A and B are shown apart, each in its own frame.
Chain A
Amino acid sequence: MNENRRQILEMLAAGKITADEAERLLAALESEPAATVGDFNGSIAGSRGWSETPVRTHAKYLRVLVQADETMTGMKGPTTVNVRVPMQLLRAGVRLASLIPPQAQEQLDEALNRHGVPFTVSQIKPENLEELIDHLEDLTVDVDGNDGNATKVRVFCE
């Protein structure tokens, strides 16, 4: 069962949404091509009755799917790679950049600029990662191989 479905069922069990709303949300999930993370407006039972309150679902995992056929890899059978990484791990990993001493950061930035990479290590911050996650919707990259064969790489949050 995917994460979004589970969250909807948990909210229904907790009484935060009605059965009709849960059904509509599940139907919306099935119709969307890559419905993983987003806002939805639902009625939530509160002490004063039902009210329209926006509830934000936060991505918990980053998924990377790679599918390549045998003509691309030269190996027998298709090759698939399916990686699921918790978002918390990515956030913790981003904090690693804060451990780099400032002098080393400057030297890294200079070296990157010399090699034509316009990137500064000090830009790696948890808030920038959150912005990236917010903008990361279902991303599919098709890599054209020989004879029209393609490799699919799909990156998305769920």
Chain B
Amino acid sequence: MIPLIAVLHIENARWHMPRLWIPLILFWIPVILILILLSPFIVIVLLALSLFGGISAWRVITVFWDILCSLPGTNVHVTANGNRIQVRIL
């Protein structure tokens, strides 16, 4: 399933930001609209890759879709120089 929420938390010695729960659906909707607008060009590129590059267009789409759907569960937490940053993808 595509990631739906990202949690961002930043803090340092001076200030403390509350955890931001970012609904990624707000990001996916414009991306989908842009993809729809650019779809003719995308189809041409994929066809060219398929004909001249020997790469299956369907495989390209499935690999990138798999990568996108595998993102939930990613967690990055960095503490350095008194600052803390945490990013979680749910």
Chain A interfacial positions (CB closer than 8 Å to B): 60-61, 73, 75-86, 88-89, 91-93, 95-96, 98-99, 101-102
Candidates B55, B66, B72; contact of A101 at CB < 8 Å: B55
Report the minimum CB–CB distance from B34 to chain A (whole Å).
22
List 3 tightest A-B contacts by C-beta distance, closest first: A89-B70, A92-B66, A88-B70
Residues from chain B with Cβ under 8 Å of A102 in the complex: 54
Q: Per DSSP, are chain B's interface residues mostly helix, strand or loop, or mixed?
A: mixed
Name which residue of chain A comes closest to B53, CB basis: A101
Contact at B78–A80, with CB atoms within 8 Å?
A: yes
Report the minimum CB–CB distance from B14 to chain A (whole Å).
13
Q: Per DSSP, are chain A's interface residues mostly helix, strand or loop, or mixed?
A: mixed
Candidates A75, A78, A92; contact of B70 at CB < 8 Å: A92
Interface residues on chain B, size class:
20 to 34
Residues from chain A with Cβ under 8 Å of B77 in the complex: 80-83
Please tell me if B73 contacts chain A, counting CB pairs below 8 Å: yes
Contact at A92–B67, with CB atoms within 8 Å?
A: yes
Residues from chain A with Cβ under 8 Å of B55 in the complex: 99, 101
Report the minimum CB–CB distance from B12 to chain A (whole Å).
11
Q: How far is the CA of A83 from the CA of B75 in the complex (A)?
A: 6
Residues from chain A with Cβ under 8 Å of B78 in the complex: 79-82
Contact at B74–A85, with CB atoms within 8 Å?
A: yes
Residues from chain A with Cβ under 8 Å of B80 in the complex: 73, 75, 77, 79-80
A-B contact pairs, 14 of them (CB 8 A): A75-B80, A76-B81, A76-B82, A77-B81, A78-B79, A79-B80, A80-B78, A81-B79, A83-B76, A85-B74, A91-B70, A96-B63, A99-B55, A101-B54
Residues from chain A with Cβ under 8 Å of B71 in the complex: 86, 89
